[in-house]
Structure 1
Amino acid sequence: MKIIESGIKNGSNATIMPVEICDHVVIGAGAVVTKNINEPGIYAGNPAMKLRDL
């Protein structure tokens, strides 16, 4: 199941597996999201990890 809330910014070529993503999240270009994101912030990498708060 993939649930994406409002206020999500998704970078180009990002891969999002079947996960839940909370409001106010930025996913960097080329990131691979493999786990649920429950905290707002900026995420990048493979696998995507939180870089900083918004």
Structure 2
Amino acid sequence: MDWRAIGLGVLFAAMWSSAFTSARMIVTDAPPFLALSLRFLLSGALALAVGAA
């Protein structure tokens, strides 16, 4: 049993399921361009971190 794969699967499921709620909260409080910029900045940083690992 690969605990790292299980942990990454659980982390992915948690991030995927929280996307709708966080997007709904951001859209009401921030302008669209700012929300989109923050979303791409965070996803780019996460992609770089995963790529470096």
Using structure 2 for the length normalisation, give the TM-score. 0.20
Choose between structure 1 and 2: higher helix proportion: 2
Structure whose CA Rg is larger: 2
* TM-score normalised by the chain length of structure 1: 0.20
Q: Which has the higher strand share?
A: 1
